[in-house]
Amino acid sequence: PGLQDLSLAKNKIAELVEGVFPEGLQTLFLPDNKITELREGVFPEGLQELSLSINQIRELVEGVFPEGLQELSLSYNQIVELVEGVFPAGLQILELDNNQITELREGVFPAGLQELTLYNNQITELREGVFPEGLQELTLYNNQITELREGVFPEGLQKLSLAKNKI
């Protein structure tokens, strides 16, 4: 079947170009590199798990991540803003801890998301409709959240961490 799992962790990769990764690839680990931006068409369609943690990514744009992606780690980057349409519909696990995210907007997170980590960011406020109904685990440890409002968290949420905030 060809190469399915590839780790290129702890290298000096600064740029990702189209056609480098084989189509049959299912798991790709690229943590601890020097990646600053992500382009459309770089990641193969069959990719299920992707780690881009410990890089220098500042911005996420639509069309970069394949639709079949189930797990995505973007921890320890320099992401400030999350916009609608970036994350694929089938995504189940999303790690965005240790970034510079200040605000969470409605429509950013896919409906099927089950686990979301957002600790060590600069989030100040939680709004209704931001988190998908199917979310089971949410980590918001060490942010700048000052209050909790009714209806913010999905009813099916099983695990929630709000330690080290300003509530």
DSSP string, 51-115: E--SS------TT-S-TT--EEE--SS------TT-S-TT--EEE--SS------TT-S-TT--E
- Cα torsion 98, 101, 105, 109 to 10°: value is -30
Buried b (16+ CB within 10 A) or exposed e, 124-141: eebeeebbbeebeebbbe
Tens-digit pLDDT profile for the chain (167 aa)?
689 999 999 999 999 999 999 999 999 999 999 999 999 999 999 999 999 999 999 999 999 999 999 999 999 999 999 999 999 999 999 999 999 999 999 999 999 999 999 999 999 999 999 999 999 999 999 999 999 999 999 999 999 999 999 99
End-to-end CA distance of the chain: 52
Which pLDDT value is given to residue 91?
98
Cβ 127 vs Cβ 104: under 8 Å? yes
Cβ 41 vs Cβ 18: under 8 Å? yes
Verdict on whether the full-model pTM lies above 0.85: yes
